[in-house]
Amino acid sequence: MDEIHIKARQLRNNMTPQEKKLWYYLRNNQINNCRFRRQYPIGNFIVDFVCRSKNLVIEIDGGQHNEQQSINYDNERTKYLKSRGFNVIRFWNSDIDENIEEVVNKIIEYLK
């Protein structure tokens, strides 16, 4: 197993509370019968969640994503993912913590 797949497995085993909370709704094809994978490698990046059949990547961002270095990294990452045909939607940790229903509804709307 190569390095990125090992790292993805480690991330799956150590998900953030917000990732765990959203995963509860995404797993087992619960949203529009779409299969999501978590901590999934795409190229040299590991995305939080992906629905490959809909080319949708979902990222959950914490406060560190407000720092300029992270903003630049996220922009490059999104640009790469879009070049591979993926659409990327992002939610803040606070979105997950404070209004998971709205987050799930936004995902459902996207998948229609």
pLDDT digits (tens, 9 = 90+) for 9-30: 998 988 999 999 999 999 998 8
Confidence of residue 63 (pLDDT cuts 50, 70, 90): low
Q: What is the DSSP string of 27-70?
A: GGGTTTT---EEEEEETTEEEEEEEGGGTEEEEEE-GGGGSHHH
Per-residue pLDDT for 66 more than 70? no
pTM check: above 0.85: yes
What domains can you pick out in the chain, each with its CATH number? 3-111 (3.40.960.10)
Confidence of residue 45 (pLDDT cuts 50, 70, 90): very high
